[in-house]
Amino acid sequence: MQQAQAQTMASAAGITSGQIQKNRILGSNSKPFVGIVLKKPQQVGALPLHVRGSIASSPWKLFSPKAAAPKSGDGIRIAVLGASGYTGAEIVRFLASHPQFHTKVMTADRKAGEQFGSVFPHLRTLDLPRLVAIKDADFSDVDAVFCCLPHGTTQEIIKSLPRHLKIVDLSADFRLRDINEYAEWYGHSHRAPELQEEAVYGLTELQRDDIRNARLVANPGCYPTSIQLPLVPLVKAKLIKLTNIIIDAKSGVSGAGRGAKEANLYTEIAEGIHAYGITSHRHVPEIEQGLTDAAESKVTISFTPHLMCMTRGMQSTIYVELASGVTPRDLYEHLKSTYEDEEFVKLLHGSSTPHTNHVKGSNYCFMNVYEDRIPGRAIIISVIDNLVKGASGQALQNLNLMMGLPENMGLQYPPLFP
């Protein structure tokens, strides 16, 4: 798509600041090894990145915001529990432009009685209800709930909610199917095992059919999202070996939440990078659960997360061993065929490198595959915004599905750069 055409479409769709960025891919003098880094590329060109279902086209083909706008008194009524945290604020930001979802209840026990704009001044222009304590929340006029509460607090609260509510839980409380494994990793017994049996894991692109019919969806963690999106299709297709999967992941500080912690002070974080949760991060069993399901046999990974001195963003660099007779190009082509019609998962061209800055504020996951210098191995890089595709954006994508709406509704935000 030429730049002038893209800008015309974007203007017609109401985008005033989004730009179609150009990416460098292998040149046209030879047939490129698309998506894989060649050891000796003949030429590098400058061609526009072409993606199907891009922000400049697909969302407005799926629905018209004007046509979808609810009539007075209509719409789906939403409660946001834990609205004073980062994921809660992101949910509220997306709901503000959603044509069908309307925020009716917002809870924050420590901020009860306050206006939301005083807690998050960047959203002070929104017309929102006052924050209330959960015990004072009235769910009689609510259809669906986003639960943005801390891990370990959600099970009993969700158990107490009316059964008519559709719920997307952003905590880890319902992600692990095995309640004994949950107790091992989270340090206490599961407090709602009967709900765990009905909970559906909500990695949208890979569990779409189950999510549509669910009442309770366990929204995936940020690291598991960035890792499973590239790995699950490759494991299912038996293109990589199940042993020696190594994942080096890095996250912005917002992933640690908004609570005051000494380890997250500016002087503790600035001008440095450090690993944490080495061999013991709680996302490990969640990732292994998804890969084990895909492989139909036990998968164990080596996973080390790192904290970066940036607000938001996540990169997972994944090292895999190829199955016999498989090439890095096979990995690329399989991921390409898996996600070519997806709105939010994009495989980059040629030697383009996914950057966290290129998905900031959006629900996108950018990824690419590279040939390793070690024969028989490949490197996969996957980036997301940890607060959006890694949390609130995917949660909204899931509730859209649960409510029978286009899953991209309210998520037509191009990435924010610089």
User: DSSP per residue over 229-264, as a string?
Assistant: HHHHHHHHTT-B-SS--EEEEEE-GGGG-SS--GGG
CA geometry: angle 125, 127, 130, nearest 5 deg: 110
C-alpha 245/C-alpha 303 separation (Å) is 8
Q: Quick one: 171 exposed, middle or buried, by C-beta within 10 A (0-12, 13-18, 19+)?
A: buried
Q: Hey, how many other C-beta atoms are within 10 angstroms of the C-beta on 418?
A: 4
Beta pairing class for 47-48 and 22-23: antiparallel
What's the gap between Cα 221 and its chain centre? 8
First and final CA of the chain: distance in angstroms?
A: 23
C-alpha 269/C-alpha 417 separation (Å) is 23
Q: Which of 147, 148, 222, 365 is catalytic?
A: 222
C-alpha 35/C-alpha 314 separation (Å) is 21
Tokens of 41: 């590329």
Tokens of 42: 């003949």
C-alpha 28/C-alpha 107 separation (Å) is 56
CA geometry: angle 337, 342, 345, nearest 5 deg: 90
Active-site residue flag, 222: yes
C-alpha 241/C-alpha 122 separation (Å) is 47
Half-sphere exposure at residue 340, Cβ-oriented, CA atoms within 13 angstroms: 6
Residues 6+ apart with CB under 8 A from 169: 147, 154, 158, 199, 216, 217, 218, 219
Residues 6+ apart with CB under 8 A from 91: 80, 83, 146, 148, 392, 395, 396
Supply the DSSP symbol for 136.
G
By annotation, the residues acting in catalysis are 222
